[in-house]
Structure 1
Amino acid sequence: MKIAVVDGYSTGRALVSALRDRGTALVHVRSLTTPPGYYTRGFRAEDFEALLDGTGEPARLAERLTALGVDRVVAGTESGVILADTLTHLMGLPGNRYETLAARRDKQLMGDTAAAAGVAVPHGGAFADADEAVDWYVSGGLGEAVVKPPSSAGTDNVRFCRTADEVHTACKTVLAADNFFGQPNPVVLVQERVRGVEYYANTVSRDGVHRVAELWRYTKRTGSAGYPVYDYEEPVPVGSAEAAPLCRFVGAALDALGVRWGAAHTEVMLTERGPVLIESGARLGGGTAPSVVERYSGVSQTGLLADLLVAPDRLPAFDDAAVRWSGAVRNVALINSSAGLVRSLDWTARLEALPTLVFLAHGVTAGEYLGETVDLISSPGYVYLAAEDPRDIERDYRALRALEEAGLYTS
């Protein structure tokens, strides 16, 4: 078995490890001329028997992969979604619907495609001009709006707005900027801000049969600049009553977007009018430690995807509703509120001293300037807290936030 990973960065690195553990030979394909540094941290070229440039003609690349004996192509992270699905189509391998390829990256087309299939989405539009966007916002009588790029990642330039001036400023910012992957934003997406409880489902699919490997409930906060900042997330048992309507909705959304094979990360807001699709990516969820998830639930999306790629016949027998979590778990995003120079990494020992901390991931180096956390990309990292008693987790979560407020990373 030989598998090509397109952009094996972020959680894709964990997938590479899982596939190597299963005895799989790997080829790496780079879809971007210059991948973001945030993604490439920890990338190990020695994990692959070949490193290919994927910025040229996909048909020629597909021929090269076929000649190398590649059996499967998979996206390691968001930037690899389009190329991975294109190569899968050209090589005649199991994959997602090619006709809805663009709808799995462009968020406006995603919303239109999902809505046409009867999946609830926020009311919104895409605009090439900030004034036109403001006119739409005002005429629609929206109290709050979300402004964001059409195709990016990591809450890049996502902003909550309450006034026409705020919408105008946010739209101008997006239109003048490149997205997280260094690509220009030809339009800006403006949507109603839907309120409720937000979740994400990490799924794995085979021939249109979807299994929910992980379901998590988000808690976010609004940062000082008006951008959404990740706070923490907690797992929801897939077999629970809370999960049932969400899992049905996610399955319908994946069907609408043509996700038939592989991983997907789907964000849903449970509102008074029912579930509403925020967005979906045809790739692994990020900001996760699969080894920790597996320790407390027995399965992770990364592990389930690796099993699918190596032994696809196993997935239909996987009963996602039977998965049980042992104790309470919370994935907490680190938040830096005091921009400044990181003098040392002594702060890691202070976090590791928290009784319920079981995992710490960060990308901070001593001597660097660490800005205020305004989005996912500017977060110093994340930790997992785990305990039998959720009150212990809450205690340590509050202690962590108190340390951060006191300038943990830069004092």
Structure 2
Amino acid sequence: MDDNGADKGVEGVILLIGCGMRKYREYLLAGAAATHPVWLFTGEEPDWQTPYLTGHTVVDVTDRDAVLAAARELAGRIPVRGVLSWDETLIVTTARVADELGLPGAGVDGVEGCRDKYRSRRLLTAAGLDQPGYAWVDTAEEALAAAERIGYPVVVKPRGMGASIGVVLAADAGEVVEAFRTADEASRIGAVSYRGGALVEEYLEGPEISIDAAVVDGAYHPMFVARKQVGLFPYFEEIGHHVAADDPLRTDPALLAMLRAAHRAIGYGFGVTHTEVKLTARGPVIVEINGRLGGDLIPRLGQLATGIDPARAAVRAALGQRPDFTDTEHRTVGIRFGYPPEDCVVRSVTLPAAAEGLLAAEAMADPGTELRLPPNGYIARHSYVIVTGADPALTTARLDTAAALVTLDHEPLHVPVPA
């Protein structure tokens, strides 16, 4: 374990466990550092993160005992005022550190109610919240029996993965067997606690949204709503989102009542969550609750659309304080991710220099990068564009135009996927 940083005074530090890729998470680290001094636990020496840090500790963040020991050591010499993470794989460890140091946190039970999708389904069902039909299965034969009982089509997914990895729509028995294999295998690259087996769930018809919120002492405070675009059927890759400051769902009584009840049901204390919801004919139904800020730059879209700083909200929640939810911007902002037409090796990505409403365009794959589409790989993105428009329809049209201006030069990849 390596340690670097000057001792802090009574102001203390926020402990951030893990950071993530620069393209996805730098804006959050910048916002957190502008709110409170940040101490980073990281698996390797920081690079681009350094200007935002008060100090850092190099520790294997995947080793829970090592992280707990490092946190105790840090707290023994520097006031640690809060702890947070926006990495899906580290939120349980983060909750344990908060408990260990007596700091505000989601609570281990609360965060397990997010991380463990089977546990979440059971808790929400017990609370009387409308849920899709579901079953936990350990074999393809059990998956077939569950699908017959629930009714086709069904969604088959791992218990503890994120980013729609291993999530497959199955329309008949043959597809269920293959979907179970995909979900089961995907689970085995994740946390040991959630490896093997799959959830089989009723497919919910309707558009999907996500809500990023802060939770302070169990009280749920929504920040912004994102409308999701899903592609690469029968998989559930998230290829785009848009956030509108004036989205009526931000204040919809039925939706907010359900979200508050759901967070009470899982026992979530302090922190931020990203909840995915299907808008069905029978009303809003939760797909899953994630104990972190959203990925895919959704919090950045929310910040650009509303002016609410998601990193500041996350820090204040970790400190046990209610964030400020006052809008200072009022617009619609959207993102579109570029996917290759086939498994490939990237030669180059050319981005548009200008387009109507263009706020940002970024290459996400360097030359030589292998991109594999589901089920051989996931999140195979070569670029993104972010635009703004007066309303969702205009924003979508501008996204179409800007995305069409991105050029991918690639070489088809026919090498089998490594075992």
The bucket for the TM-score relative to the shorter chain is 0.7 to 0.9
* Corresponding residue of 1:368: 369
Which deviates further from its counterpart, 333-342 or 54-63? 54-63
Alignment partners' CA distance in 1, 2:410 and 2:372: 9
Q: 2:344 aligns with which of 337, 340, 347?
A: 340
Q: Do the aligned residues in 1 keep the contact of 2:212 with 2:299 (CA within 8 Å)?
A: no
Determine whether 1:50 maps to 2:57: yes
* Corresponding residue of 1:331: 335
Q: Do the aligned residues in 2 keep the contact of 1:14 with 1:290 (CA within 8 Å)?
A: no
Q: Do the aligned residues in 2 keep the contact of 1:156 with 1:179 (CA within 8 Å)?
A: no
Task: Note closer, same or farther for the CA distance 1:181–1:381 as it changes in structure 2 (3 Å cut).
Answer: farther
Determine whether 1:354 maps to 2:355: yes
1:59 positional shift: 5.2
Task: Note closer, same or farther for the CA distance 1:84–1:313 as it changes in structure 2 (3 Å cut).
Answer: closer
Task: Note closer, same or farther for the CA distance 1:65–1:12 as it changes in structure 2 (3 Å cut).
Answer: farther
SS at match of 1:49: strand
* Corresponding residue of 2:18: 7
* Corresponding residue of 2:395: 393
Alignment partners' CA distance in 1, 2:339 and 2:228: 15
Q: 2:224 aligns with which of 206, 214, 217?
A: 214
SS at match of 2:269: coil
1:373 positional shift: 6.8
1:314 positional shift: 4.5
Q: 1:380 aligns with which of 379, 382, 389?
A: 382
1:13 positional shift: 4.2
* Corresponding residue of 2:158: 149
Task: Note closer, same or farther for the CA distance 1:291–1:328 as it changes in structure 2 (3 Å cut).
Answer: closer
Q: Return 5+ residue gaps in structure 2 as ranges.
A: 1-11, 412-419
Q: 2:35 aligns with which of 22, 25, 36?
A: 22
The superposition leaves residues 155-184 of structure 1 with CA deviations (integer Å, 9 ceiling, x where unpaired) of 111111100110111112332344453657
Alignment partners' CA distance in 2, 1:308 and 1:299: 14
Alignment partners' CA distance in 2, 1:238 and 1:396: 19
Q: Do the aligned residues in 1 keep the contact of 2:278 with 2:284 (CA within 8 Å)?
A: yes
1:400 positional shift: 4.3
Alignment partners' CA distance in 2, 1:259 and 1:182: 21
* Corresponding residue of 2:415: none
Q: Letter of the 1:44 partner, please give it.
A: Q
Alignment partners' CA distance in 2, 1:98 and 1:389: 40
* Corresponding residue of 2:286: 277
SS at match of 2:148: helix
* Corresponding residue of 2:199: 189
Q: 2:241 aligns with which of 227, 233, 241?
A: 233
Q: What is the RMSD computed on CA atoms of the aligned residues?
A: 3.0
Alignment partners' CA distance in 2, 1:143 and 1:176: 22
1:61 positional shift: 4.2
Q: Do the aligned residues in 1 keep the contact of 2:211 with 2:274 (CA within 8 Å)?
A: yes
* Corresponding residue of 1:265: 274
Please, what TM-score do these two structures have when normalized by structure 2? Answer: 0.83
* Corresponding residue of 2:133: 123
Between the two proteins, what is the percent identity of the paired residues?
A: 21
Task: Note closer, same or farther for the CA distance 1:178–1:3 as it changes in structure 2 (3 Å cut).
Answer: same
Q: Do the aligned residues in 1 keep the contact of 2:237 with 2:379 (CA within 8 Å)?
A: no
Task: Note closer, same or farther for the CA distance 1:314–1:116 as it changes in structure 2 (3 Å cut).
Answer: closer
Task: Note closer, same or farther for the CA distance 1:43–1:373 as it changes in structure 2 (3 Å cut).
Answer: farther
Alignment partners' CA distance in 2, 1:26 and 1:149: 33
Determine whether 1:164 maps to 2:166: no
Task: Note closer, same or farther for the CA distance 1:276–1:289 as it changes in structure 2 (3 Å cut).
Answer: closer
Task: Note closer, same or farther for the CA distance 1:295–1:137 as it changes in structure 2 (3 Å cut).
Answer: closer
Task: Note closer, same or farther for the CA distance 1:324–1:60 as it changes in structure 2 (3 Å cut).
Answer: closer
Alignment partners' CA distance in 2, 1:204 and 1:242: 13
Which deviates further from its counterpart, 200-209 or 210-219? 210-219
Q: Letter of the 1:335 partner, please give it.
A: Y
Task: Note closer, same or farther for the CA distance 1:208–1:138 as it changes in structure 2 (3 Å cut).
Answer: same
1:93 positional shift: 1.0
Q: Letter of the 1:136 partner, please give it.
A: A
The superposition leaves residues 219-253 of structure 1 with CA deviations (integer Å, 9 ceiling, x where unpaired) of 22343xx2112232222447736741222222221
Alignment partners' CA distance in 2, 1:68 and 1:167: 54
